[in-house]
């Protein structure tokens, strides 16, 4: 599969199945939550325990707590890279990738990451329709844009921000000793994200940033053609 191959019916149907399942599940959960909120508010109001104004005043804080909880234990959902900067302005670390490819065999191209709104609009980097918006990979674990044999990147100029930032020099998944050019043993499969899972200290910030990213994506879909 190359970057300019047309989308297959299998890929499209998988994406539509994911979308239908996600929307149906979300709608059912929202209806149940809505019914619970209405019931609780009505009962509390009838008993004089709380007023509607008090419920609305406390709502923003409750939404924040729910989003933070969701960030810690993410359900099936669309993932979008959180960034507002132009990826073309990102300076990559000084690593001679062309010289190192015969040794490392572009092992970083087996790592996973999510695309940004900018990537989606450029329509150069392929993403997995069954797992939006993670980079699409071949059966051998490599990104579909990695060239078999040479290990070069077919979309190097348009590569996403995580690829541009990635510094393999201290990454034990790639090198035992970068300075001595000793690569780490190859794993059978590397379904590992380029970005580490956020710690508890940054959960609040990540939840806030995720909402901002989705707001940016909604605006881009609405106004950019």
**Digit-coded pLDDT (tens) for 167-208:** 999 998 899 999 999 998 876 544 455 555 556 666 677 677
Q: 173 with 184: CB under 8 angstroms?
A: yes
Three-state SS sequence of the chain: CCCCCCCCHHHHHHHHHHHHHHHHHHHHHHHHHHHHHHHHHHHHHHCCCCCHHHHHHHHHHHHHHHHHHHHHCCCCCCCCCCCCCCHHHCCCCCCCHHHHHHHHCCHHHHCECECCHHHHHHCCCCECCCCCCEECECCCCCECCECCCCCCECCHHHCCHHHHHCCCCCCCCCEEECCCCEECCCCCCCCCECCCCCCHHHHHHHHHHHHHHHHHHHHHHHHCC
Tens digit of pLDDT for each residue in 29-56?
888 888 888 888 888 888 888 887 888 8
- Determine the Cα–Cα distance for residues 113 and 143; give it in Å rounded to an integer: 10
Least confident piece of the model among 8-12, 94-98, 133-137 = 8-12
Axis crossing angle, helix 52-72 with helix 9-46, rounded to the nearest 10: 140
pLDDT at position 187 is 62
Q: In the chain, where are the structural domains located?
A: 9-78, 87-194
Q: Is the predicted pLDDT of residue 136 greater than 80, yes or no?
A: yes
Q: 174 with 47: CB under 8 angstroms?
A: no
Q: Residue 181 is encoded by which pair of tokens?
A: 């050019």
Backbone angles phi, psi at 193, to 5 degrees: -75, 145
Q: Is the predicted pLDDT of residue 1 greater than 80, yes or no?
A: no
User: What does pTM read for this prediction?
Assistant: 0.62
């Amino acid at each position: 599969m190359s970057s300019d191959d047309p989308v297959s019916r299998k890929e499209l149907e998988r994406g539509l199945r994911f979308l239908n399942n996600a929307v149906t599940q979300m709608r059912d959960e929202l209806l149940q939550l809505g019914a619970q909120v209405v019931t609780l508010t009505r009962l509390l109001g009838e008993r004089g325990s709380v007023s509607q104004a008090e419920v609305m005043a406390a709502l923003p804080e409750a939404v924040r707590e729910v989003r933070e909880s969701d960030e810690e234990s993410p359900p099936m959902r669309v993932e979008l890279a959180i960034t507002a900067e132009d990826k073309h302005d990102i300076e990559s670390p000084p690593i001679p990738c062309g010289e190192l490819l015969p040794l490392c065999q572009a092992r970083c191209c087996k790592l996973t990451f999510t695309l940004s709104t900018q990537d989606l609009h450029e329509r150069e980097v392929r993403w997995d329709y069954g797992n939006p918006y993670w980079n699409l990979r071949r059966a051998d674990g490599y990104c579909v844009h990695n060239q078999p044999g040479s290990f070069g990147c077919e979309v190097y100029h348009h590569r996403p921000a995580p690829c541009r930032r990635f510094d393999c020099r201290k990454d034990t998944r790639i090198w035992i000793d970068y300075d001595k050019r000793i690569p780490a043993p190859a794993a059978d499969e590397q379904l590992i994200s380029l970005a580490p899972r956020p710690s508890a200290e940054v959960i609040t910030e990540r939840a806030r940033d995720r909402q901002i990213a989705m707001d940016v994506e909604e605006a881009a879909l609405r106004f950019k053609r």
